[in-house]
Amino acid sequence: MVLHKENVKVLDVQSDWLQSYISSPEKQQQLYKRTLMVVVISQIFGGAGLAAGVTVGALLAQDMLGTDSVTGIPTALFTLGSAGAALLVGRLSQRFGRRSGLAAGFLAGGIGAIGVVISALTNSILLLFISLLIYGAGTATNLQARYAGSDLANSTQRAKSISMAMVSTTFGAVAGPNLVDVMGEFAISIGIPALAGPFILAAAAYILAGLVLLILLRPDPFIVANAISDAQRTTSNLPLEENSILLSINKRGIFAGASVMVLTQFVMTAIMTMTPIHMGHHGHALKDVGLVIGFHIGAMFLPSLVTGYLVDKIGRAVMATASAITLLISGSLAAMGPADSMVVLITALALLGLGWNFGLISGTAILVDATPPSTRAKTQGSVDVLIALSGALGGGLSGIIVAGSSYSTLSIVGGVLSLFLIPVVIWSRGSEK
């Protein structure tokens, strides 16, 4: 009986705590701003962790396996790992809140990065593959953090809040590739292969990102948003027919948003994965690779504030169409430009990142518009599984295509595939707000 009374007391306290946010728009806005600040800090660290695998993952596999044909495997593995992690992070967030889900994902990514370092030190291919799968949890969490900022945002703030989470990733993500040489020298100084150096940085960065969220993301924005939604639903009396129409629009929006993000992820990952190998074949040094990938990742995240403003201002469908056109130009330039030109490579990869940025932010906004808080985190996690799987497929196929044909063929095919975004967004215009 005593235990029962204590449980009731805890529930009453929690109810009172949530009620203070439900009844106060001012407190909601304060928590919205605080959440964005915490997400920004965690994403700075998370971006640095993300950059390691993108920059040297393929090169490390090439060095350990001694062949080019399997250099797409690292990207495939950590994106495949991110698929499973996306599902788990989404389910954890739905049940326990963003704080628990995101912190667990980043900490797992840090453990995976430590495993990669150990695999390089022991020259263990099996441990490398297992560690890359676990490392993928950081990639998934880095993406899912963009949703946390939108939990308490209204429909005119959503793309902006998503973009703020993404742009903060730039600081770490751009610094990461440009620290390749520094981290390589540090790794050598402690008896670790140079290419494992960036993963030392990744381990520290992901673990710090997880700790920031675990300690500072209080109150949890997702739990508050759910409580507000429940309160609004109990006070509304929508006719059954209107509820049915809204459900249909939601399903359409979920499909459209997912399609935009999945296709842009596939094209971007495929071309990006093979660029370091392509550069190595044409005599570019490791620092050149770091510079090109640094510009690429910068373009993936740095324009986010402008992109978010445009998505909210001129519409989701327009910016998704802009994504398709930008990716086509990027693929064409990468295929037809001189391989020894750093200017061409930087421009092509920057456009590749920009096209991805347009697609991810517009697609995410479409998805958030279409999902109520009661199912939002779970649905977002499921969609991010598809995004990760498309990245894994793109990374895996890219090595096979280049080995069987050429980097130019890969780039052209990727650019043309991106055009399929256009009919998808035309069809989805009916669900755009």
- Domain assignment of residue 276, yes or no: yes
- Domain assignment of residue 244, yes or no: yes
Per-residue pLDDT of 124-133, as tens digits, reads: 888 988 998 8
Q: How far apart are CA 170 and CA 174, in angstroms?
A: 6
- Domain assignment of residue 292, yes or no: yes
Per-residue pLDDT of 266-285, as tens digits, reads: 999 999 988 888 888 887 88
By CB neighbour count within 10 A (0-12 exposed, 13-18 middle, 19+ buried), where does 123 fall? exposed
Residue 260 is given by DSSP the state H
In this prediction, residue 355 has a pLDDT band, given cuts at 50, 70 and 90, of very high
- What pLDDT is stored for residue 50 in this prediction? 80
pLDDT-above-90 percentage for the chain: 34
- Domain assignment of residue 7, yes or no: no
- Residue 321: CB partners within 8 Å, gap ≥ 6? 421, 422, 425
Q: How far apart are CA 274 and CA 367, in angstroms?
A: 30
Q: How far apart are CA 385 and CA 150, in angstroms?
A: 19
- Domain assignment of residue 4, yes or no: no
- The DSSP annotation for 26-69 comes to HHHHHHHHHHHHHHHHHHHHHHHHHHHHHHHHHHHHHHHH--ST
- Domain assignment of residue 103, yes or no: yes
pTM for the full model? 0.75
- Domain assignment of residue 419, yes or no: yes
Closest listed residue to residue 368, CA positions, set 268, 263, 260, 266 = 260
Per-residue pLDDT of 56-102, as tens digits, reads: 777 787 788 776 666 667 767 877 788 889 899 999 999 999 999 99
* Domains held by the chain: number: 1
By CB neighbour count within 10 A (0-12 exposed, 13-18 middle, 19+ buried), where does 1 fall? exposed
Instruction: Evaluate whether 293 touches 380 at the Cβ level (below 8 Å).
Output: no
Range of the domain at 135: 30-230+238-431
- Domain assignment of residue 133, yes or no: yes
Query: Domain of 350: which CATH number?
Result: 1.20.1250.20
CA 277, 205, 85, 367 dihedral sign is: negative
Per-residue pLDDT of 14-28, as tens digits, reads: 567 788 888 888 888
- What pLDDT is stored for residue 361 in this prediction? 94
State the average pLDDT for the chain: 84
Q: How far apart are CA 259 and CA 255, in angstroms?
A: 6
Residue 67 is given by DSSP the state -
